Structures are given as structure tokens and as C-alpha cells.
Structure 1
Amino acid sequence: MSLTPTYFVNIAVSVAVVMWAATLHEVAHGYVAYRCGDPTAKNAGRLTLNPLKHLDLFGSVILPLVMALLGGPVFGYAKPVPYNPNNLRHRRRDEVLVAMAGPASNLLQALLGMVVWRIWLQADPAFLLASSGAGYWVCDVLTLYVWVNLILCFFNLIPLPPLDGSHLIAFFLHGRALDGYYKLSQYSMPLLIVLLYLLPDFLHVDPLGVYFNATAGSLYDLMMYTNLPWGLS
């Protein structure tokens, strides 16, 4: 690893991209909750794009910084928006809509990044092959923006509380199955730590890596490198 100024700039950009993507993720939760009848986030001043209102010191700064330094997938989280499901007009349905709004916002951000990247590429295909200059940095930031948002999208779709995917699973469960799922949820954070760190580091088994490659990785390749001009793919 070369500790050059470029290396530290890349780390800073990575953290900034995660902070912005996580901010929009939380705003999306709060906005959909508001549209479904719960004004809690709006009343708390959290329906704003000001990142300072949403940042979590560990999840928005320290975690993505450490992950960037380790060279792995970079993701993080912002402070969850306050939310009262009792205010929702159709609670069972609306809880799923509120939960899915976060990953959906990340997918939309990734699509926007792809569109801008392809427009830039169409204007000057040579910038993709450059190793320096403004075009290189635009390419680097845009591709990172797409990748980070895809990682955030699919990470949050993992069906373990408190991640958003757990609400989707709970929607389809009833009775004893739902009770059993809620009991399992108390072990979700230790399970995530095992999946993220212990299995890859000690047993060299990386189920989340396989999952990200099959989801975020495959979609990233499809979005960014399909139908590129010859010699650039």
C-alpha cells in the first residue's frame, strides 16, 4: 500500500460518498413515512438533505473510513430517522414501504450515477483510459458512487433486524413463524459480525462476499460495462 496524497484523497472521497448516500437513504425513509401518515421525522427536522442532521459518528465516518483503509467494500449508515409506525394509515403495508424506501433510494442514486457516467463517457471516451486529470477523477467518483449505493442497497436488503430487509420478510410471516422470526432477531447483530468479520478472517469463508458479488457486483457490471465502445469494456 502506497501512502500517497492520492491514496488519502481516495479515502476521503469514499467516506464523503458514503455519508451522502446514507443521508439520502434516511431521508427516503422519513419522507415515505410522512407520505404514509407519520410526521415524526418531519417534526424532528430530519427531512433535510443537510448531512449534518443525519450523520452518525461511527456509522457515517469511522466505519466507512476503516473499511476503506482495509480495502474492502465501503458502506456505512446514518442515524435512523425517528419513526412511529402507529401513525401509519395502513400499518402492515406502510411499514414495508417505509423500509424499502431506503434501499430504493440507493438504487436510484446508482442509476443516476450510471447515467451521468455514460453521458460523460459518450462525450469523451478517452477519459476512461486516463490515469490522471479531471476526467480520471470524475470517472473515479462516479464509479465509486454507483458501487457504494449498490452495496448499501443490497446490504440493507439482508433479512436481519435492524436492516430494512427484515421488514419485507416479516410482512410475509404470520403467527408462530413471525414470533420465531422476532425471537431470532435478538441474535442478528452478533450474526452480522460473524458474517462480516469472523468467517472471512478466521475460516476464510465469505458468504457476504459471495452475496455482494452475485447482487451488487453483477448489477454494477451490467450497469457500467455493458455496451461500452470497443476497447473500453
Structure 2
Amino acid sequence: MTTGEPVRQRPGASVSRWPSPIFVGLVLATAVSGWALWNRSGPTGLTAFVFVACAWVVSLCLHEFAHAMVAFRSGDRTVAERGYLTLDPLKYTHFAYSILLPLLFVLLGGIGLPGGAVFIDRRYLRSRLANSLVSLAGPLTNILLAAVLAVVFTAFAPDDRVHVEFWGAFAFLTFLQVTAAVLNSLPVPGLDGFGVIQPYLSNKVLRKVGPIAPYAVLMLFVLLWIPPVNQAFFSIVGWFLALLGIPGVYIALGQQLFQFWMG
């Protein structure tokens, strides 16, 4: 996600472009928990939970990094000063977006919602197209990640009957990427889909949208609990997953392992 809150340039501010130790730690935690799940070391449900949760946060960092990198290339140098190019999840902090909503979406509904927030100073972006590309970069990252995960899954999982739990968690992680891409592409204020079209909307339309913008994502969350809306959303997600070759039985297994406390 991105926001358009302007920030001030700070001459001489220290700028790091190295991956943060937290991000490196998350990658290592993903690898270690994945290895443990592959070898069935420790409680399967808990291990699957750690693997999916850590990998999801890694993908969240990559999603927000993509926003920041495109903004940086388009003229906004403040993203570097704010640490957005370091992949540090603590830099993408907004309580509602970063913690509360993603937790509720994944734990209750099994929906992946990229939850970070990068503050883009859009005064520095060179064009309306640049504004749209900054917003589009996030969902495209989720699509790319889903495609990569699907390639690995379809290449190795179908003939592997030994590591079914691992591939279940892997499929559920792919499912989260697809749900994130679909959900975040909706033209709803607060989501990237709206950010793509926002530069082309009139001031009159933006003034009308303004009062509801802070609550739009919450309203969307409520709508997703309505059966017809829920079914329509997951039908779209299911179509994309079928296109990627991810069987529903593996996704269901992965979600069951991830939500082990509900079993």
C-alpha cells in the first residue's frame, strides 16, 4: 500500500540500501522452518505456521519495497531516507494496516492483505503515469511471487508423496499471494487498485471519496463476510489458482496446518 502524505527532505540524512538484519532474519527463519517442515522436525502445525507467517512477512516487505523502488526511480528520494529500500518491516508501520487488518484477514478469513504502508511524497513524482506505476508495483510483486511459487509447486509437488505437509503450506502461501493481488487490485480507497486510477480522477470525485477513504478497507472487510460477495471473491481467486496449477486440496491442507489451534 502507499499513501500520499508529503514528507520533508532531510539534507545529509543517513541512507542505507542494504537489507536490514530483521529482513535477513525473516528470510533465515523462513528457510529454517521450511527445512523443519520438510523433515517433519517438531510439531507440524506450529512449524507450518512459522514457515507461512515468516514467508508472508518477507513477501510483505518485497511488496512495499517495490512501491518504494518505483517511487525512488520516479523522483521521490525521501523513500530512501525513510528506510523503505532496506526491506525492514518495521519501517512499513501503520498499526491498522500493518498489524490489525492483516492479522484479522489471514487468521479469520485466510485472505492475504499486504499490510504495510509506505509514505510517498507524490510532489516529486514526474507524471501521472509514474503515480500509477508506484501503486501498481505492489500487486505486480504479489503476482510475480505467486507465479514463482506455482512454478516450483507444479515442478516438484505432484510426484512427491513424502513431503505433503510442506507442499500444503507452500500451496497456502501461494494462495495468500493470489488473494493479496486480487484484493489489493480492487479500486477501493486505501488499496493499490485505487492508487492506480487516482491520478486520473477529477478533484470533484476525490473530494467525494475523501470522507470515506479512511474506512473503505474496513467496509470491504465487512462486505467479504457476506456470502454472495465472499463466493464471488473466492471464485476469482480459485480461477487464478487453477490457472497456476495449485490444487485446492493442498491449499486446504496448508490452511488447516497454519490454523493449527483451530483443529
Normalising by structure 2, what TM-score?
0.67
Question: Would you say the 8 A contact 1:23–1:49 is kept in 2?
Answer: yes
Runs of at least 5 residues in structure 2 that lack an aligned partner in the other structure: 1-42, 248-263
CA RMSD of aligned residues (A): 2.8
2:181: which partner in 1? Answer: 153
**Mapping of residues 1-233 of structure 1, within 5 Å:** 5-54=43-92, 59-70=97-108, 72-90=109-127, 92-121=128-157, 125-127=158-160, 130=161, 133=162, 135-174=163-202, 178-197=203-222, 200=225, 204-207=226-229, 209-225=230-246
> Which one-letter code corresponds to 1:110 in the other structure?
A
User: Which has the bigger relative contact order, CA under 8 A and spacing at least 6?
Assistant: 2
Question: Would you say the 8 A contact 1:14–1:64 is kept in 2?
Answer: no
> Which one-letter code corresponds to 1:213 in the other structure?
F
> Which one-letter code corresponds to 2:244 in the other structure?
M
Give how far 1:85 is off: 0.7
Question: Matched residues, percent identical?
Answer: 28
Runs of at least 5 residues in structure 1 that lack an aligned partner in the other structure: 227-233
- The 3 A distance-change label for structure 1 pair 81 and 184 is closer
Question: Would you say the 8 A contact 1:15–1:64 is kept in 2?
Answer: no
Q: Distance in 1 between matches of 2:141 and 2:194?
A: 17
Give how far 1:163 is off: 0.8
Moved more, 183-192 or 13-22: 183-192
Question: Would you say the 8 A contact 2:101–2:115 is kept in 1?
Answer: no
Q: Distance in 1 between matches of 2:97 and 2:195?
A: 21
- The 3 A distance-change label for structure 1 pair 138 and 52 is farther
Q: Distance in 1 between matches of 2:217 and 2:114?
A: 15
Q: Write the deviation string for residues 90-127 of structure 1: whole angstroms up to 9, x where unpaired.
A: 2x111101000000011001011111112223xxx332
Residue aligned with 2:113, SS: coil
Question: Would you say the 8 A contact 2:66–2:137 is kept in 1?
Answer: yes
- The 3 A distance-change label for structure 1 pair 137 and 48 is farther
